[in-house]
Amino acid sequence: MIAATIEFGGSSNPLVNALPECITFDLHVEPIMLALTDALAVEVEKNQCGSQVIINRLAEVIVLIMLRRTIGRHAGGSGLLAGLAHPQLHHALVAVHDAPAAVWDIDKMADAAGMSRSYFIAQFRAVVGETPGAYLTAWRLALGHRRLTRGESVKLVARHVGFGSAASFSRAFTRRFGCAPGSVAANLV
């Protein structure tokens, strides 16, 4: 048996909240997973020079493949995983995840998905379960929360996660989490 701890940035991360409590796979029908877990087991058993680096990388690859498979299982459903499984919406979601501080508007997100503006809005809401703007704000706030827990200043965090000012970030943060962003940083001291 091999166990690992994966850090996704806390419960404010939308992906963490979208994942099922337990993810299982039959390794005999997932040949790549079987090969990777076999390689991981060998590295753990031998524990040679560099084994920890190899173990860490193999664990990352296994987790990513597990996430892909889990997302694929939710195709046709609803929620973030269904959005990530959607043949067009996933392009917009990945783009927003990769560049949260970019100046995103509905037209740019729809363009990333290769959809018309109105169809994108309707599909996003139907599949993901919220508007594109609400999702973008929630994603930025989740990233901001994680940065604050690392000790970054509110002003720096606001800029890095795509808010126009520290004041607008603070207002949105307080609405979402029920406390001012400064109180998160203050709890670290």
pLDDT in tens, 92-107: 999 999 999 999 999 9
Classify 134-186 by CATH class: mainly alpha
Tell me which residue has tokens 């309707």: 122
Q: Report d(CA 170, CA 88) in Å as an integer.
A: 33
Note whether 160 and 101 are within 8 A (CB).
Answer: yes
* Confidence (pTM): 0.77
Counting residues of the chain whose pLDDT is more than 70, the rounded percentage is: 92
Residues of the chain with pLDDT under 50: none
Tell me which residue has tokens 């459903």: 77
pLDDT of residue 83: 92
pLDDT of residue 188: 61
AA identity, residue 100: P
Note whether 172 and 141 are within 8 A (CB).
Answer: yes
Report the candidate in 85, 62, 76 with the shortest Cα–Cα distance to residue 15: 85
| Domain boundaries for CATH 1.10.10.60 within the chain | 134-186
What mean pLDDT is reported for the chain?
88
pLDDT of residue 9: 61
